[in-house]
Each structure stands twice: as C-alpha cells, then as structure tokens.
Amino acid sequence: MNLMESERQVAIFGLGFIGLPLALSFALKGCRVIGVDVDEQLVQDLNKGVTYHLEAKDGIPIQQILKEQLAAGRFRATTDPEQATKSSTDVIVTVGVPVTDGIPDYSYIRAAVQTIASYLRPGQLVLIRSTVTPGTTRRLLQPILESSGLQAERDFYLAYASERIAEGRAFEEFENMPTLVAGAGEKSLKRAREVLSIVTRAEIHEASSYEVVETAKVFENISRDVDIAMVNEFAVFTKAIGIDIFEVIRLANTHKRVNLLQPGPGVGGYCLPNALYYLLPRALEANLNLRLLPVARRINDETPRRIAGLILKNLPVPPSRAKVAVLGIAMKDYSNDDRLSPALKVIQFLESAGVTVAAYDPAVPHQYPFKVNSLEDALRGANGIAVLARQKNIDYEKLTEFRKLMKEDPFIVDTRNVYNRRQAKAAGFRLETL
C-alpha cells in the first residue's frame, strides 16, 4: 500500500508523553491523525489546543503545533476507539505499561489491543511502540489481535518498533533517532518501514524478531540506569573524602573513551526506573540470577533518602521548626513530567521528619499540598534551598534576592550543579553538593 501522506489516516492509541508528539509528527507530514485516549479530560483539553508538554519543533512550542494541526483538520483526539480504528489505514499503540511493586501491569495495553482487535480490518497495520517485557508482542498482543479471526501477515500487518526518544526532544528524535523494527513477516516489515519513514529521516534497522527489538529497548534503558547508579555511588565516595563530584566528572570526561553521566537526586520518569522490571519476568522464567542490575536499581532507589539526609544535616533548627524551599519537582531537568520523580521522594522523607516543604516548579501542572505558586512563596522564611530539578522559568542567579527572603544562616543543597561555592558564599549561603 503506497498511499500519499494526505490519504493516510493514522490512529494512535495513547496520547501521553510519547503518543501526542508522535501524533503531531505524522500530522505535520500531512497525515490525518486520530489520537485515542481513555482520559476524557485529556481528550477535551487536546481538542481545545491545551497541553502542558514542554516539547518544541524548530523553536515552535507544541502548544502552537497542536492548535495549527487542529485548525488544519489533520489532528483530533477522541475517546471513541471504534471510529478511530475503522477509519484508519494504520494503528499505532503507545500505551504505557506501569510497574507497581516491581510487577508490570499489562492491563492497559491489553485492553487497548483487545479494542483494536474488535474493529480490525484486513490490510491494516498495527504497530506496537510501547516498552514491554521481551516476548510480549508474540505471546500476548499478536494472539489478541488474531482472536479477531484475522491472521498477522496474511490478513493484516503487525510490527514492533521501539520508542527511543528523550522527553523534551521528541520531535527532533522521532525524525533523527535511528529506528529499530521487526515484523510478523516480510510484508509486515515492509509496511511498517513505509509508515515509520513518513516521520523518520534516520536509518531504520530491521531486526530478525520482535524479541530482539523489545530486548534492545529494555537494555538501552537499563544501561542508563546502571550508568547513573555508578555515578551516584561515585558521589558517595567523593563526598566522604571531601571533593566535588561534578569537578571530578568534568575532568574524568576529558578522557576520550570516558563519558560519565551526571549524578542527581535519583532516577525518575517512566522509562529508566521501570526497565529492570520489564526484563526480570523473562530472567526468572529462564532461572537466571541477574546480580548487577538489581543492585544498580537499589542504589538509585536509595538516593532520594540520602539527599533528604543531606538536607536534614544542614538544618540550623530542629526539623519540626524548619522550612525548606524545594526548587524543581520534575523527574529531570526542563521537564513537566513528575512520574516517579525522585524529588517527590525527597519531599516525602523531609515531611516524614517534620520539615515544612514549599516546592516551586512552574512546569509541573500537578498540584500537591506542598506546592506553591511562586518562587517568593517557596523562599519566604525558609532555612534552606534544595535544588532538585532545573527549570527554565526559575532564575537561579538571583541568590542575593533569595537570601533577603530567607532566615539566618541559610544553606543550599544543590543536586543539579547549578551553583559553585564562591557564588554561594558571596550571597551568604552554605553550599552542599552531592
């Protein structure tokens, strides 16, 4: 099927941090896109042109892109999967697989694929882009789709292509990140390549099986989790001997074969903290004892407690009489995503110790009892500052003005390498780094 982009209608199931920019990427290429989500409020907001994502393409914010594509009739959102599936040439699934207590929950993606199976037509492509346990496409999703009476590769096309983008760079990386894909057969692979190449300008690598691509995706995420655990462990060592971890990493990275990542308050978001738990079911099935990977995960899980300890250590008053201003509650710098954010865990530990927390993050839309509406509200009467995530709308350089709002002998615990000691001291702060 060689359709012009303007003739192609794409249904995308799941309109979160991956699905929405992917949907708009297809719309920008001229496709007609229907985004499907079970969240009625999200669908209403999107159809009004409202999104809180911090994505942009060529300097144009996603909010403007969304409004333009709605106006052009190339994108709309719906909660009606029947209409979306029946009218589409291609169906893409970006529904997430959350992890609870180390157990992946496949109920959401199972429900989405069951719905697609109910309305599947001969000649359609179903492209899975969710991160899953290796074997999920073959063992779970393909049988569900074939329960429709249609057979993959004979009647419809089925493929798996991993999603490899970083939040905040979605449009750029959908276009420029090499893509991995595997299909139920050669015809499915050809059709998936045809659809992927509408958006992707980078090389598309074909794999021998779904499992290869599923596993590569999980390995990619776990490798970063392990790398971050390593530098967080390094930070414990440098703290113990009284040297600065950020200076050490900067100098170590001058070696041409070394590329240490940056430590921080922990690891958050949907991808890295969950990756190990997508791998473990198959490891247990094969009776494998994975040793390094669970240790790395524990190190990153324990880091927020260590950061809370640094903050408590610097309090000039008992925790029950202390206030701490937290700057940034997103799961990483310059993000509005607070899912599994280590900053929230740090705050939880502080509040459990009796500290009053006033957190300011203008990018995160979710409301919390400890979240305040202005930087001034966070700083006023605070004993210290904890920098847990950078945001563009926070002017970190105004330390002298910060100092005027705060109590005597204030401190900064800086987990994001925003300040240096000379700068902090000149403004009247004690600085604690990782």
Mean pLDDT computed over every residue of the chain: 97
Q: Give SS3 for 290.
A: coil
Query: Can you say whether the dihedral through the CA atoms of 161, 166, 170, 174 is positive or negative?
Result: negative
pLDDT in the model for residue 1: 54
Q: Give SS3 for 72.
A: helix
Q: What band does 376 get if pLDDT is binned at 50, 70 and 90?
A: very high
pLDDT in the model for residue 72: 98
Q: What is the mean pLDDT of residues 238-261?
A: 98
Q: How far is CA 124 from CA 26, 33, 94, 109, 188, in A?
A: 17, 15, 17, 19, 10
Q: What is the mean pLDDT of residues 235-257?
A: 98
What letters, b where the CB count within 10 A reaches 16 and e where it falls short, cover 202-219?
eebebbeebbbbbbbbbe
Q: How far is CA 157 from CA 52, 117, 125, 193, in A?
A: 34, 12, 4, 11
pLDDT in the model for residue 4: 67
Q: Beta strand pairing status for 430-433 and 32-36?
A: unpaired
pLDDT in the model for residue 176: 98
Query: Can you say whether the dihedral through the CA atoms of 22, 15, 168, 69 is positive or negative?
Result: positive
Residue 294 in this model has a pLDDT that exceeds 60: yes
Tens-place pLDDT, residues 1-49: 567 676 799 999 999 999 999 999 999 999 999 999 999 999 999 999 9
Tens-place pLDDT, residues 395-408: 999 999 999 999 99
Note every long-range contact of 343-347, with CB atoms under 8 Å and residues 24 or more positions apart, other chains counting: 343/265, 343/268, 343/304, 343/388, 343/389, 344/368, 345/266, 345/304, 345/305, 346/265, 346/266, 346/304, 346/307, 346/308, 346/311, 346/386, 346/388
- Only one residue has tokens 């309109």, namely 15
- Provide the token pair at 103: 């157990």
Q: Beta strand pairing status for 204-206 and 125-128?
A: unpaired
**CATH ID of 5-208, from 3.40.50.720, 3.30.2000.10, 3.90.50.10, 3.40.50.2300:** 3.40.50.720
Provide the annotated active-site residues.
Answer: 217, 271
Shortest CA distance to 326 belongs to which of 390, 280, 399? 390
pTM: 0.95
Q: What is the mean pLDDT of residues 298-322?
A: 98
Compute the distance between CA of residue 400 and CA of residue 427 in angstroms, rounded to an integer: 5
Q: What band does 222 get if pLDDT is binned at 50, 70 and 90?
A: very high
Neighbours of 294 (CB within 10 A): 15
Phi/psi-derived region of residue 242, left when phi > 0, alpha when psi is between -120 and 50, beta in every other case: left
pLDDT in the model for residue 7: 78
Q: What is the mean pLDDT of residues 125-140?
A: 98
Neighbours of 122 (CB within 10 A): 10
Q: Is-same-fold flag (5-208; 210-434)?
A: yes
Domain boundary assignment for the chain: 5-208, 210-434
Tens-place pLDDT, residues 59-92: 999 999 999 999 999 999 999 999 999 999 999 9
CATH topology of domain 210-434: Rossmann fold (3.40.50)
pLDDT in the model for residue 2: 63
Q: What is the mean pLDDT of residues 408-433?
A: 97
